[in-house]
Chain A
Amino acid sequence: DAKTTQPTSMDCAEGRAANLPCNHSTISGNEYVYWYRQIHSQGPQYIIHGLKNNETNEMASLIITEDRKSSTLILPHATLRDTAVYYCIVRPRDSAGGGADGLTFGKGTHLIIQP
């Protein structure tokens, strides 16, 4: 899986948009960008994933640059409950046989939402 680089920590004011960057300059053509988050003492939670087009769901938006070497996760209206460690993971989607590999978690970004 391609390596990713994320800032160690970020602060954001409650109610504002939180923009979390991720650098993945060695991403290959068949690799997707996945985002998970982990709230303290809980299991990780899937947020969103994408290949090259921008994606949006009820939780967040994912903006992927045209060269796919970086991406930004956007939480449009951050709340205190969004305080968590956010992980950007680059990996191929399910294999042709339908199997899957375990995820490789980096250190992630500790996002702190300030009241």
Chain B
Amino acid sequence: GAVVSQHPSWVICKSGTSVKIECRSLDFQATTMFWYRQFPKQSLMLMATSNEGSKATYEQGVEKDKFLINHASLTLSTLTVTSAHPEDSSFYICSAHISGRGETQYFGPGTRLLVL
């Protein structure tokens, strides 16, 4: 099956710093990538949809200036949490979509962010 990787797998940072998370599709080209966030004991929540070469579409309530998404190639999307605060601590998961595949989305292993 298709493989999606994320880097880093976990990160601890100080409040006010920015953190970049990478999402790569390793053996396929993804026309669309998605970013989700999951708080403890809650379900995944879609943050944004990212299409290669165009601006990301953010879900209601997600600040686009705080969560910067870049999808410069068909195999790489990045999420930058700018000026992170403790309330941004969460599990961030990306997924990649291949057009024409029944499963629609392949998920990465997630990145756990802890902001002190």
* Contact surface of A with B, Cβ cutoff 8 Å: 34, 36, 38, 41-46, 49, 87, 93-94, 98-108
12 contacts between A and B (CB under 8 A): A34-B103, A42-B110, A43-B4, A44-B107, A46-B106, A93-B102, A94-B99, A98-B99, A102-B34, A102-B46, A103-B95, A106-B43
- Bound together, the chains give a CA A41 to CA B108 distance in angstroms of 11
- Bound together, the chains give a CA A98 to CA B4 distance in angstroms of 20
Q: Secondary structure at chain A's binding surface: helix, strand, loop or mixed?
A: loop
The answer to whether the Cβ of B61 comes within 8 Å of any Cβ in the partner chain is: no
Give the interface residue-count category, chain B.
Answer: 20 to 34
A-B pairs under 8 A by CB, number:
66
Closest to B2 in A: A46
Q: Which residues of B contact A34 (CB under 8 A)?
A: 103-104
Q: Secondary structure at chain B's binding surface: helix, strand, loop or mixed?
A: strand
Known: A43-B108, A101-B49, A102-B36. A49 touches B102 (CB 8 A): yes
* Contact surface of B with A, Cβ cutoff 8 Å: 1, 4, 6, 31-32, 34, 36, 43-46, 49, 51, 59, 91, 93, 95, 97, 99-100, 102-110, 112
- Bound together, the chains give a CA A25 to CA B95 distance in angstroms of 28
| A37: min CB distance to chain B, Å | 11
Q: Which residues of A contact B51 (CB under 8 A)?
A: 99
Q: Which single member of A87, A99, A100 contacts B105 (CB below 8 Å)? A: A100
Asked if B43 and A102 sit within 8 Å, CB to CB, the answer is: no
Closest to A92 in B: B104
Asked if B102 and A99 sit within 8 Å, CB to CB, the answer is: no
- Bound together, the chains give a CA A89 to CA B115 distance in angstroms of 32
Asked if B100 and A102 sit within 8 Å, CB to CB, the answer is: no
